[in-house]
Amino acid sequence: MKINLSRKNQAVHFEASSELSAIKVQIDGSEAIGGEGKGVRPMELVLMALGSCSIFDLTSILQKQRQDIQDIQVEVRGDRRDEIPNIFTNIHISFTLVGNIDETKALKAAELAVKKYCSVHDMLANGGVDITYSLKIN
């Protein structure tokens, strides 16, 4: 896998692209280093990667279990240490499911999705980040 970052202005606004898709992602730094609010910040992308990896796997597992998913949402919150580098110390993933879903199956599916199948989780957890998750069914 390969990505490219192209500078878009004299500040810290970059456009990222991948060899796997034609989609472009706008990335920008904080105002403190010249960012202009024209894209997401790198650490936001880390949380987005964890959330999307987990929810893709959870959705796939629930579909294989023939659960009736009408909606599925994920919220990811991360705490960072004050020292530089400001790495994540704790991350919590909150899944919200809507539909006719068996709670026992959903809890097992969430555990598998987060702890077994999500490669982003493994990279972060193996780096010392404490990652927890919760599940709510409406």
Q: What is the pLDDT of residue 11?
A: 83
Residues of the chain with confidence (pLDDT) below 50? none
The whole model's pTM is what? 0.92
Domain that holds residue 59: 42-137
Read off the amino acid at residue 8.
Answer: K
CA nearest 105: which of 68, 131, 50?
A: 68
29 and 49 in one domain?
no
Tokens encoding 105: 């199956």
Kindly provide the residue ranges of all beta strands, DSSP E only, lying in the chain, ordered along the sequence. 3-7, 13-18, 21-28, 68-80, 88-100, 130-137
On whether both 133 and 108 belong to a single domain, the answer is yes
The residues facing 26 across adjacent strands are 15
Identify whether residues 91 and 23 lie together within a single domain: no
Same domain, 76 and 122: yes
User: Does residue 72 sit in the same domain as residue 111?
Assistant: yes
Q: What are phi and psi of 58, to 5 degrees?
A: -60, -45
CATH code: domain of residue 93 = 3.30.300.20
User: Alpha-carbon distance 128 to 125, whole Å?
Assistant: 5
- Asked whether residue 7 falls in the same domain as residue 62, the answer is no
Rounded CA-CA distance 54/133 in Å is: 10
pLDDT at res. 96: 98
Pick the closest to residue 69 from 23, 113, 34 (CA basis).
Answer: 113
Q: Are residues 52 and 116 in the same domain?
A: yes
The domain total for the chain is 2
